[in-house]
């Protein structure tokens, strides 16, 4: 397999070669090298009550996890029984211990093995291996994230972008959930999101709201932040991308979270979670008609998916003024894939 390199100097750099998107080997490699090493959005902390089961990146990592609060501290535990592997908690519930519904093994809310029927005489038992594994869990502005084996802390993944964003810290309610299925590689979907270069060409409606001239992109270690301003110079939207697949879009009404989930090298599901803070502003500005913008984006991304299969296309070059976010994303892919 080829080793990818993307020149740090955007003026010299070439985009990722098309084989990255087309070869199923890279798709599989991305699961362990990229997705197991990064942070995944779970939900708002306010949505968690009692014992709260979830799946870490469904379809990709498929890791069953259990959010458990004990002594005021929230933990992310493995939701798999250490006896014969049954899922422990199938639905959110309130309980003061965790009991497996298969053969009655019990664990504390901290994940510590407590008891097991019919195990008298079993040697070297229990050991630490009988406790539930705890995974890294982090909270940013009330958004919860977990990871299997993160390359760095969530604060580093979010980076200095956090200091630019004030929205999202207040009361946010999950108002809608929606899934889009896109016939394209997950990275093509992300790299389209990472540049505002296409706005005047692809998003006629949005282009009337967001001023192309002042649109800005800043990159950090694992994140990037795009800011769109309206004609009066007021911030219309902040678009925060956390590598490799999380988009937090801050609008005057609240936050739209997009989770990009790879399905196959040519299929992706994008989950849209709408968190509303101020309902009165829902119909205004850059965050008003997200469905239309999404349809326009999907059409170009699916067109690129068909285009990169061409034997005449292998890679492209970057605009130094408009594609810093895409260049940064490709550099991170090259770094993680190694
Ligand atoms: S699988 Fe849980 S007690 Fe047997
Ligand atoms: Fe777009």
Task: Catalogue all structural domains in the chain, each as residue range(s) with its CATH number.
Answer: 19-38+153-337 (3.90.380.10), 40-140 (2.102.10.10)
Kindly list the distances between the CA atom of residue 150 and the CA atoms of 142, 146, 153, in Å, as whole numbers in the listed order. Answer: 20, 9, 7
Q: Report which protein residue has its CA nearest ligand 1's atom 4.
A: 103
The rounded percent of the chain whose pLDDT value lies above 90 is 89
Q: Ligand 2 centroid to 198 CA: how many Å?
A: 7
pLDDT recorded at residue 1: 65
pLDDT band at 168, cuts 50/70/90? low
Judged against a pLDDT cut of 60, whether residue 329 lies above it is answered with yes
Report the pLDDT averaged over residues 194-211: 95
Average model confidence (pLDDT) across the chain:
95
Looking at the chain, list the stretches that DSSP marks H as alpha helix, in order from N- to C-terminal side: 19-22, 24-33, 154-158, 161-164, 186-193, 199-202, 204-207, 290-307, 324-337
pLDDT band at 170, cuts 50/70/90? low
Q: Which of 41-50, 166-175, 190-199, 281-290 has the lowest mean pLDDT?
A: 166-175
pLDDT recorded at residue 165: 83
Q: Ligand 1 centroid to 245 CA: how many Å?
A: 34
pLDDT band at 288, cuts 50/70/90? confident
Nearest alpha-carbon partner for 12 in 320, 233, 247: 320
Could you give the CA distance from residue 105 to residue 82 in angstroms, rounded to a whole number?
9
Closest-lying ligand 1 atom to the alpha carbon of residue 84: 1
DSSP string, 84-95: T--BS-SS-B--
pLDDT recorded at residue 162: 84
Token pair 């989950």 in the structure block, residue:
271
- Do 281 and 253 contact (CB within 8 A), yes or no? yes
Residue scoring higher pLDDT (156 or 282): 156
pLDDT recorded at residue 283: 82
- Do 337 and 19 contact (CB within 8 A), yes or no? no
- Do 329 and 190 contact (CB within 8 A), yes or no? yes
| Residue 102 in contact with ligand 1 by CB distance below 6 A | yes
Judged against a pLDDT cut of 70, whether residue 10 lies above it is answered with yes
Among all ligands shown, which has an atom nearest to the Cα of 200? 2
Q: Ligand 1 centroid to 37 CA: how many Å?
A: 29
| Residue 86 in contact with ligand 1 by CB distance below 6 A | yes
pLDDT band at 107, cuts 50/70/90? very high
Per-residue HEC secondary structure of 117-180 comes to: CCCCCCCCCCCHHHCCCEECEEEECCEEEECCCCCCCHHHHHCCHHHHCCCCCCCCEEEEEEEE
Dihedrals phi, psi of 93, to nearest 5 degrees: -155, 165
Distance of CA 304 to the CA centre of its chain: 22
Angle between helices 24-33 and 324-337 in degrees, nearest 10: 80
Q: Report which protein residue has its CA nearest ligand 1's atom 3.
A: 103
pLDDT recorded at residue 20: 96
Looking at 203-269, list the stretches that DSSP marks H as alpha helix, in order from N- to C-terminal side: 204-207
pLDDT band at 9, cuts 50/70/90? very high
Query: pLDDT tens, 263-276?
Result: 999 999 999 999 99
- Do 89 and 53 contact (CB within 8 A), yes or no? yes
pLDDT band at 164, cuts 50/70/90? confident
pLDDT band at 169, cuts 50/70/90? low
Six-digit token pair at 285?
């500005």
The region that residue 254 occupies, defined by phi over 0 for left and psi between -120 and 50 for alpha, beta otherwise, is left
pLDDT recorded at residue 138: 97
Among all ligands shown, which has an atom nearest to the Cα of 82? 1
> Residue 124: exposed, middle, or buried by beta-carbon count in 10 A (0-12, 13-18, 19+)?
exposed
Closest-lying ligand 1 atom to the alpha carbon of residue 100: 2
- Do 131 and 80 contact (CB within 8 A), yes or no? no
Say how many CA atoms lie within 13 Å of 239 toward its Cβ. Answer: 22
Report the pLDDT averaged over residues 325-330: 98
């Amino acid at each position: 397999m080829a080793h990818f390199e993307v020149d740090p100097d955007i003026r010299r750099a070439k985009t990722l070669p098309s084989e990255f998107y087309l070869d199923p080997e890279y798709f599989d490699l991305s699961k362990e090298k990229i997705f197991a090493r990064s942070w995944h959005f779970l939900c708002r902390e306010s949505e968690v009550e009692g014992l709260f089961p979830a799946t870490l990146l469904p379809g990709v990592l498929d890791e069953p996890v259990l959010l458990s609060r004990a002594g005021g501290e929230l933990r992310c535990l493995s939701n798999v029984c250490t006896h014969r592997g049954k899922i422990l908690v199938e639905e959110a519930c309130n309980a003061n211990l965790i009991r497996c519904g298969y053969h009655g093994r019990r664990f504390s809310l901290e994940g510590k093995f407590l008891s097991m029927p019919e195990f008298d005489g079993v040697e070297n038992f229990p050991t630490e291996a009988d406790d539930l594994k705890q995974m890294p869990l982090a909270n940013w502005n009330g958004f919860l994230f977990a990871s299997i084996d993160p390359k760095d802390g969530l604060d580093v993944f979010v980076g200095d972008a956090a200091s630019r964003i004030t929205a999202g810290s207040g009361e946010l309610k999950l108002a809608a959930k929606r899934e889009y299925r896109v016939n394209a590689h997950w990275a093509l979907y992300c790299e389209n999101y990472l540049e505002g270069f296409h706005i005047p060409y692809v998003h006629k409606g949005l282009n009337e709201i967001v001023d192309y001239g002042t649109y800005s992109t800043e990159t950090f270690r694992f994140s990037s932040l795009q800011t769109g301003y309206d004609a009066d110079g007021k911030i219309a939207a902040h678009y925060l991308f956390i590598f490799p697949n999380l988009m937090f879009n801050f609008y005057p009404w609240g936050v739209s979270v997009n989770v990009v989930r790879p399905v196959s090298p040519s299929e992706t599901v994008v989950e849209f979670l709408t968190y509303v803070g101020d309902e009165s502003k829902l119909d205004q500005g850059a965050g008003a008609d997200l469905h239309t913008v999404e349809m326009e984006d999907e059409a170009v991304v699916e067109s690129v998916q068909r285009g990169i299969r061409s034997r005449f296309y292998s890679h492209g070059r970057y605009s130094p003024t408009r594609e810093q976010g895409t260049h940064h994303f490709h550099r991170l892919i090259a770094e993680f894939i190694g």
